[in-house]
Amino acid sequence: MSLVYDLPERVDFVRRDMDVDPAGRLPRLGVPLPALFGGADDFPRADHDLFTAPPAPDVPRGDRLAAGFRPLLTSFPAG
C-alpha cells in the first residue's frame, strides 16, 4: 500500500509545517475555516482523513467517508 507521504514532495511539505502552530495564523485568516477531525473528535470511528474504512478497489472513496461529512462540508459556506 502506498501512502501520500511516500512521495518526497509531501514529506517535505509536512516537514516544513510540523513545527508551525496555527493558533497565531488563524485570527489573520479572514475567512471561515472548517476545522474537522476524525477519531474521538467530530467524527467518531473515522481516521485522520475522515475515512471509516481502508481503501478498496471496489468501493468508491466517497462511500468510505464518515457519515455526515459531506452534508456538513457542502453546507459550510452557507453557514
pLDDT (tens digit, 9 = 90+) per residue, 30-65? 888 887 766 667 788 888 888 999 999 999 988 999
> How confident is the model at residue 5, as a pLDDT?
57
pTM as predicted? 0.55
Judge whether 13 and 4 are in contact, CB under 8 Å.
no
- Give dist(CA 42, CA 44) in Å, integer: 6
Q: Can you tell me the mean pLDDT for 66-77?
A: 85
- Give dist(CA 74, CA 6) in Å, integer: 30
Q: DSSP alpha helices (H): ranges in the chain?
A: 8-17, 69-75
